[in-house]
Amino acid sequence: MLRRTFMAGLENKRIALLGTRKIEEQSAIIVQLGGSAVHRPAQGTIFFDAAVIEPEIDKIINGKFQWAIFTTGIGFEKLFEIAKDAGKEDSLLAALQNLKIAIRGYKTANALKKRGLNPIVRDDDGSIVGLIRQLEAQQLSNQSIAVQLYGEPHSELIDWLIERNNTVQEILPYEHIPPQTEVLEKLLNEILSNELDAVSFTSTPQVKYLFKYAVAQHKNKELLEAFETNVIALSVGKVTGKVLKEYGVNRVIMPQDERMGSALMTLNKYYKEVEIF
């Protein structure tokens, strides 16, 4: 017979945080919910030198584009940081006010809102695919478009735009780099030895780096088994969750609104109500 047992949320649960931002805030939430957090940064980020990015900003200011597509809040803000240092912040803002803008993600939306910019196209689910779906209605072709990418090139979006005879300028303010091997080694060992109850993924590179390391160590099967049995894979949103599933993780917990605080509360709710046969 199925009975429902109520647990104390994250009490006595140990959760690994793989991101690099707002770690103290996340840890505080976990502690408030009765658990403990360990930080295992599973990705690195390198910002490119201003000398690389400033010429792309100049192209925006000089009216070389009809559209601008932004895919992350941090990438958008980096462009303005570089523009400010070069004394071109106001010129960049004025130029963007005259462009058609499309965006992906709520953080990008918030970054634009702070500067009084309103996109005419926004994704429907936080993903690049969701952005492409919304762009379909614009019948984009023969346009000059600046695309701010993040971490690594998004060939799907770029290919989609080029297939429609658009001229595309990729702007990559930063890129993701692999974490230290020691971090991945420790994280993998903690997962396989049941020292963790959950692993919190906030981006797709974190998933890729962990699984690539597991494959290199011939422990991919053991990693998948751990996620199916003793360790919960917590995803901040649909995009990262989709990649987890592509790597073979079937049990993925994620929130509705793709925010880290909400993800932790969703995990808390999951643990609070455990069904036992």
Least confident of 125-129, 201-205, 268-272: 125-129
**How high is the pLDDT of residue 152?**
66
Is the pLDDT at 277 greater than 50, yes or no? Answer: no
Same domain, 94 and 212: no
Same domain, 113 and 167: yes
Among 256, 223, 261, residue whose Cα is nearest residue 241? 256
Least confident of 58-67, 81-90, 242-251, 254-263: 254-263
Same domain, 55 and 16: no
Same domain, 63 and 128: yes
Predicted confidence band at 125 (pLDDT cuts at 50, 70, 90)? confident
**How high is the pLDDT of residue 30?**
95
Is the pLDDT at 3 greater than 50, yes or no? Answer: no
Same domain, 230 and 168: no
**How high is the pLDDT of residue 20?**
85
**How high is the pLDDT of residue 154?**
61
**How high is the pLDDT of residue 8?**
62
Check if the beta carbon of residue 90 is closer than 8 Å to that of residue 126: no
Decide which of 176, 205, 239 is a domain's last residue.
Answer: 176
Mean pLDDT of 90-104: 97
Same domain, 152 and 199: no
Predicted confidence band at 276 (pLDDT cuts at 50, 70, 90)? very low
> Range of 195's domain?
3-43+180-276
| pLDDT tens-place string over residues 245-254 | 999 999 999 9
Q: Which residues does 22 contact at the CB level (< 8 Å), separation at least 6? A: 260
Spell 193-208 as b/e; 16+ CB within 10 A means b.
eeebbbbbbbbbbbbb
CA distance 89 to 105: 23
**How high is the pLDDT of residue 237?**
87
Predicted confidence band at 274 (pLDDT cuts at 50, 70, 90)? low
Same domain, 164 and 62: yes
Least confident of 21-30, 106-115, 252-261: 252-261
Same domain, 203 and 160: no
